[in-house]
Structures are given as structure tokens and as C-alpha cells.
Amino acid sequence: MTIPELKIGTVTAAIPIVQGGMGVRVSLSSLAAAVTNAGGIGTLSSIGLGDFVDSLTEYERISREALEYEIEQVKKKTSGPVAINFMGVLSNVNDLIKTAVDRGIQIIVFGAGLPSSLPELVPDPSVNLVPIVSSARVAELILRVWDKRFKRTPDAVILEGPLAGGHLGFSREQLERLDEFSLERLLPGLLEVLKKYEDAYGRKIPVITGGGIYDGRDIARMLKLGASGVQMATRFVCTVECDVVDSFKQAYLDAKEEDIVIIESPVGMPGRALRNEFIKDLELRGKFPVQCPYRCLTACKADHANYCIAKVLLNSYLGDLKNGLIFCGQNAHRIDKIVTVKELFTELIAGLAAA
Ligand SMILES: Cc1cc2nc3c(=O)[nH]c(=O)nc-3n(C[C@H](O)[C@H](O)[C@H](O)COP(=O)(O)O)c2cc1C
């Protein structure tokens, strides 16, 4: 079987696997470069790169410089295409996107918020714009606005289903009815919405599906249903190259299915995470003191938040897992060893070919 390439606007990857962006600092230059070098598309996370400082302008400057540093590092490690993941709820998201574009990044992935003005911020058509959506309805809204205001379509759309890790574009009630919102159920409606715009613009808008994709068989199923590629994150955490500390990876290896839970986040969306000591402590106490000298998230009501999400995600990155939140996808409990990115790709490609 020939493995289809993945084309996102001006960029082509030999293997249709995108490594999903993972904040805080889970997918930095080491992981992203390894994925790109293996033939897929690696994604740097732009989230939470700035250390804790006491003013918003300082925070913006430090975040920008940290992103510039990661871009510089990833370019030293690979010459292939690398994406950057941005979240619409970040107060400095526009500044970070401009920084990435100025530094030559060709794929801008935008989630957790509506990218209504993204084409205005990034008018260069050679920079590929990729919104993350969780429904055909939201995709249609974005496409309609972009068509009307900018005469532009996305260069690809990531459809993230309810089994994904991190923040989720579904309500708690929807997350209790997983079957209704499976990728298999969501994808046909999205393809139908895109078709109208593909016909009008005479170009393909590839769909990349993510959330619970675990092996080559899952990838084959998605491609058969009409996806052009898949986005995977959880499996990349347990790779040698992933940028987090070993104890974070070990937490995945130790996880049982019942340890994977849905939590409320100050971002205003539910999230999927491991029920570790931090979460158990939060359940008991109800709240941890939040000190917020600047507002890194537009959606966070820091005065009422029961914890600072930036801080607890950073704690995990630093290895303080007792006080840290560990995001993971629904299939994290299935992983039983740490492998290299190359080994993971070999396994996935063999599984895809066999399927
Ligand atoms: C540790 C972790 C952190 C994540 N952080 C982000 C993030 O900062 N922004 C984002 O858009 N998605 C984030 N995600 C979602 C992934 O990019 C991806 O779309 C999703 O997890 C795919 O599902 P999978 O993990 O089952 O493969 C995160 C996922 C994980 C596991």
C-alpha cells in the first residue's frame, strides 16, 4: 500500500501524521523536530513559554522571546515543515502569531477560540492557516466569515473529537455521550460543509482528525472515511524525544483507564487529565490560592478560579507532579513503553499498511 502524503497548502509531508501541539512545554523543539524528521509534521506549542513575572508587558516580552528561541532551536534540528499551535484564549495570541510568521513558520494551528480575524493578521497566502474545530457547525462559521471578509479558506481543518487530551471543545454533557460525537459521526458532516467551499475555490481543504487515534488501524479507518491525515498527541508523550521530564512520561505508563478523568479548567472548557495527587487534593480542598499579576488567559476569571492552570501545567513540566496537572488523551492507559519517534512511526506505518 502506498501511504498518502499530507498536503497542507504550500507544505507537503510524506506521512499523513501531525503531532498535536501540547502545552505547557510538552511539545517543544525536540519532539516537533523528531516528528518532522520522521516524515510527519511536528508542532511546537506556544503555550506557557513565558516564566512567571509580575507584569503583563514583561510576560508578553518573555513569551515572545521564548517562542523565538524554540523556533531557532527547531530550525537547527530539522529543515522540514513545523507547525505552531496557538490558543485563541491567550491574551497575547496575536503577538505570538506575528512572531511565528516573522520567523518563517509556515503552518499556524489555531484552537480554543474562533480565529475570525486570523487571515487579517496573517495575510500572506504562503503561510498556511489551520483552525481546530470540534463540529461542522463551528467549521461552517469560520469558513463563512473568512469567505465573506477575506476571500480565503483554511489550508486544512483539524477535527478534534472528544477522546483527545487537554482542553476539549465539548460540554460535560456531550462528553457523557461519546458515541454521538465520535470522529466517525462528526467527519461526514464536516466534509459536506467543506465541499461547498472546495468547489467554490477549486481547491481541496484537507481534514486532519484527532482524538483517540492510537494505531495504524485507526489511521487507516480515518483515511478511508475521507480524512487526509490524523493528529496524534498522547502517543508522542511516551517518546524519548518528548520534551517533558521522565516522571511525566512514567505517569502515563502507570495510568489505568479509571485514572483518566474530565476536569473543569479556568480556561472555561472541560479538559481530560490524569487523576493524580494534584487533582485529588483539589477535590478535597476545592480551591488553591491564585495569584495573578497579569492575565495570560482572556477567559480566566482569576479572582474566582480555583487554581491557576498555567502554574499547575508548568509544575508538571518541571517535574513537580504532586502540584501539577497532567493532561492526557483517553487512550493514555494503553501505552506501556517509551519508544523513539522513529520507532513509533515505523509501528504506525506498518499498522497502516497492514490495515
Ligand atoms: C499533554 C497534552 C497537552 C495538550 N495541549 C494542547 C494545547 O496546548 N493546545 C491544543 O490545541 N491542544 C492540546 N492538546 C491536544 C492535542 O494537540 C491533540 O489534538 C489531541 O490530544 C489528540 O488526541 P490524542 O492525544 O488522543 O492523540 C494537548 C494534548 C495533550 C495530551
> How confident is residue 302, by pLDDT bands cut at 50, 70 and 90?
confident
Residue 233, ligand 1, Cβ within 6 A: yes
Task: Tell me how far apart the alpha carbons of residues 162 and 142 are, in angstroms, rounded to a whole number.
Answer: 20
3-class SS at 12?
Answer: strand
Q: Which residue, among 123, 84, 86, has the nearest Cα to 107 in the 3D structure? A: 84
Distance from residue 234's CA to the centre of ligand 1 (Å) = 7
83 and 232, same domain (yes or no): yes
Q: What is the pLDDT of residue 107?
A: 98
Structural domain includes residue 330: no
Q: Are residues 158 and 173 in the same domain?
A: yes
Residue 66 is assigned to a structural domain of this protein: yes
Q: What is the distance between the alpha carbons of residues 281 and 278, in angstroms, rounded to a whole number?
A: 5
Q: Which residue has the higher pLDDT, 1 or 288?
A: 288
| CA of 23, closest atom in ligand 1 | 8
**Same domain (yes/no): 208, 120:** yes
Instruction: Specify if 328 maps to a domain.
Output: no
Q: Give me the CATH number covering residue 209.
A: 3.20.20.70
The CA distance from 325 to 167, in Å, is: 12
Question: For 267, what's the count of Cα atoms within 13 Å in the CB-facing half-sphere?
Answer: 24
Domain count, the chain: 2
Atom 3 of ligand 1, nearest CA residue: 22
In which band, very low, low, confident or very high, does the pLDDT at 52 lie, cut at 50, 70 and 90? low
134 lines ligand 1 (CB under 6 A): no
Q: With a 6 A CB cut-off, is 331 part of the ligand 1 pocket?
A: yes
pLDDT at position 35, please?
98
Residue at 295 is within a domain: yes
Is there a single domain that holds both residue 44 and residue 139? yes
pLDDT digits (tens, 9 = 90+) for 120-131: 999 999 999 999
154-182 pLDDT tens trace: 999 999 999 999 999 999 999 999 999 99
CA angle 223, 330, 336 (to 5 degrees): 95
**Cα distance between residue 144 and residue 152, in whole Å:** 10
Query: 231 is written with which cell numbers?
Result: 493528529
Pocket of ligand 1 contains residue 17 by CB under 6 Å: no
Same structural domain, 87 and 217:
yes
pTM over cut 0.85: yes
Does residue 1 lie in a domain region?
A: no
CA of 332 to the centre of ligand 1 (A): 12
What is the predicted pLDDT for the residue at 143?
A: 98
Output the pLDDT for position 208: 99
For 62-118, the pLDDT digits (tens) are: 999 999 999 999 999 999 999 999 999 999 999 999 999 999 999 999 999 999 999
Cell numbers of 300, please?
480566566
What pLDDT is attached to residue 59?
86
Does one domain contain both 174 and 319? no
151 and 282 together in one domain:
no
Q: Are residues 179 and 271 in the same domain?
A: no
pLDDT at position 294 = 73
Residue appearing with cell numbers 497542507 = 8
157 and 198 part of one domain: yes
Percent of the chain with pLDDT over 70: 99
Residue 230 CA, ligand 1 centroid: distance in Å: 13
Q: How far is CA 1 from CA 56, 190, 245, 348, in A?
A: 52, 27, 37, 13
Q: Which residue has 484537507 as its cell numbers?
A: 206
Q: End-to-end alpha-carbon separation of the chain, Å?
A: 9
Least Cα distance to 48 among 29, 28, 18 occurs for 28
Is residue 335 predicted with pLDDT exceeding 70?
Answer: yes
Longest alpha-carbon distance in the chain:
56
Over residues 279-285, the mean pLDDT reads 96
pLDDT over 70 (residue 54) = no
Question: Does some domain include residue 221?
Answer: yes
Give yes or no for a contact between 262 and 275, defined as CB atoms under 8 angstroms apart.
Answer: no
Residue 351 CB contacts under 8 Å (≥ 6 apart), including other chains: 215, 216, 217, 219, 220
Residue 98 CA, chain-centre distance (Å), reads 19
Ligand 1: atom nearest CA of 158 is 19
Domain co-membership, 269 together with 235 = no
Residue 295 in this model has a pLDDT that exceeds 90: no
- What Cα–Cα distance (Å) separates residue 49 from each residue in 80, 92, 313, 325? 23, 12, 11, 16
Q: Say if ligand 1 is within 6 A of residue 213 CB.
A: yes
For the residues 136-155, what does the mean pLDDT come to?
98
pLDDT band at 1 (very low <50, low <70, confident <90, very high): low
Residue 273 covered by a domain: yes
The mean predicted confidence, pLDDT, of the chain is 95
255: domain range? 247-323
Asked if residue 61 and residue 138 are part of one domain, the reply reads: yes
Collapsed DSSP state (helix, strand, coil) of residue 55? coil
Asked if residues 153 and 143 have their Cβ atoms less than 8 Å apart, the reply is: yes
The Cβ of residue 220 has, within 10 Å, a number of other Cβ atoms equal to 18
* Mean pLDDT for the stretch of residues 195-221: 98
User: 167 with 293, same domain?
Assistant: no
